[in-house]
Chain A
């Protein structure tokens, strides 16, 4: 089973600061199939980054993704108030076909 571990669990930052979120896999993940989602309370997850580094339609360029193998990073260069949410990474391909990280909560300091 490919377990995704996200860190930190909670990240407290101020608007304008830079956020760096980590996702580490227990087994190698194809970069093509590492995805990041944003979830706000009471809403479904929203696609942010796919293929480890490609921004989804409508996602501002302050969001970027990087990494390969077992270590991936989501970076938000200058936080806006609407960016505070929970972020999940997700892999496709390794048993159990799909798995999600436990999430990083990005909260306003």
Chain B
């Protein structure tokens, strides 16, 4: 059974950088069948896709956030990471990592989510 687990600080100051890591177990991040994604959900609101990385390092970001995002992968540790620069209160959200099956077209496995609050 594939499992994903987010980790990182729960509180970030405005203008600083949010950094999260997603550890993948029960399957290899080097499989070519999946996009490894970040998705966020502000409290009480809907889901926003942030971006994804392929095992070879190719990335695709949401244009609305491009310029502030970096997603990287570490295949040796079977994990991938998100960095979001210049955060504001609007970036306060539960951040999920998820595995997207690009052949079948869905997010099948999700992490439990981690709340990141942007506040001084």
Residues of A within 8 A of B (CB): 32-33, 35, 37, 43-45, 47, 50-51, 56, 88, 90, 92, 95-103
CB distance from A94 to the nearest CB of B (A): 12
**Interchain nearest-CB distance for A27 vs B (Å):** 15
Query: Which residues in window 25-47 of B have CB below 8 A to A?
Result: 37, 45-47
* CB-defined A-B contacts under 8 Å, sample of 12: A35-B105, A47-B107, A50-B104, A51-B105, A88-B46, A88-B47, A92-B100, A92-B102, A96-B62, A100-B48, A101-B46, A102-B46
A50 touches B106 (CB 8 A): yes
B120 within 8 Å of A by Cβ? no
**Interfacial residues, chain B to chain A (CB-CB below 8 A):** 37, 45-49, 52, 60, 62-64, 96, 98, 100, 102, 104-108, 110-113
Is B110 a contact partner of A44 (Cβ separation < 8 A)? yes
Contact check, A97 vs B49: say whether CB atoms are below 8 A apart.
yes
Tell me, rounded to whole Å, the shortest Cβ–Cβ distance linking B104 to chain A. 6
The residues of A that contact B45 with a CB separation of less than 8 Å are 102
Whether the pair B46, A100 counts as a contact (CB closer than 8 A) is yes
* 9 nearest A-B residue pairs (beta carbon): A44-B110, A98-B49, A33-B105, A100-B47, A50-B106, A102-B46, A35-B106, A96-B62, A92-B105
A88 neighbours in B (Cβ, 8 Å): 46-47
Number of A-B pairs, beta carbon distance below 8 Å: 58
Given A44-B111, A44-B113, A45-B110, residue A100 in contact with residue B49 (CB < 8 A): yes
Since A45-B96, A96-B64 are in contact, a sample of 15 more A-B pairs with Cβ atoms closer than 8 Å, ordered by chain A residue number, is A33-B105, A35-B107, A44-B110, A44-B113, A45-B47, A47-B106, A50-B105, A90-B106, A90-B107, A96-B62, A97-B60, A97-B62, A99-B49, A100-B46, A100-B48
Q: How far is the CA of A44 from the CA of B99 in the complex (A)?
A: 12
Q: How far does the alpha carbon of A37 sit from the alpha carbon of B34 in the complex, in Å?
A: 18
Interface centre among B52, B96, B105 (most CB of A within 10 A): B105
CB within 8 Å for A45 and B105 given contacts A88-B46, A96-B63, A96-B64? no
